[in-house]
Amino acid sequence: MQPQSKYCELHQKAYENIQKKFEVWKKASNIEWQDYLKEVATNPFTGSWAREVAESLLSEKELGSVERNV
Ligand SMILES: [Zn+2]
């Protein structure tokens, strides 16, 4: 396990996918990171892992809070 990672493997994967998709979105629509996260969090097609990561990033309180139940 990486010490700097606050996510388990599945959330980490979701987080990487979020970052990759953001680069694509940004090129297409120049969207801001926060707005993008809101889109991800509210999109009904977002998987639950990605949504939890987006919500935790938006709350900015505790990045690892999403892992409480793990
Ligand atoms: Zn997790």
Q: Tell me the pLDDT tens digit for each residue of 31-57.
A: 999 999 999 999 999 999 999 999 999
pTM listed for this prediction: 0.79
- Where in the chain are the domains? 9-60
Dist. CA 10 → ligand 1 center (Å): 6
Measure Cα distances from 28 to 11, 18, 24, 45, 57 in Å: 25, 15, 6, 19, 22
Dist. CA 25 → ligand 1 center (Å): 25
Residue 22 has pLDDT above 80, yes or no: yes
Other Cβ atoms less than 10 A from the Cβ of 17: the count is 15
Dist. CA 37 → ligand 1 center (Å): 17
Token pair 């980490």 is found at 12
Dist. CA 56 → ligand 1 center (Å): 11
Dist. CA 32 → ligand 1 center (Å): 25
Mean pLDDT (the chain) is: 87
What pLDDT does 62 receive? 58
Inter-residue contact 37 to 26 (CB < 8 Å): no
Residue 2 has pLDDT above 50, yes or no: no
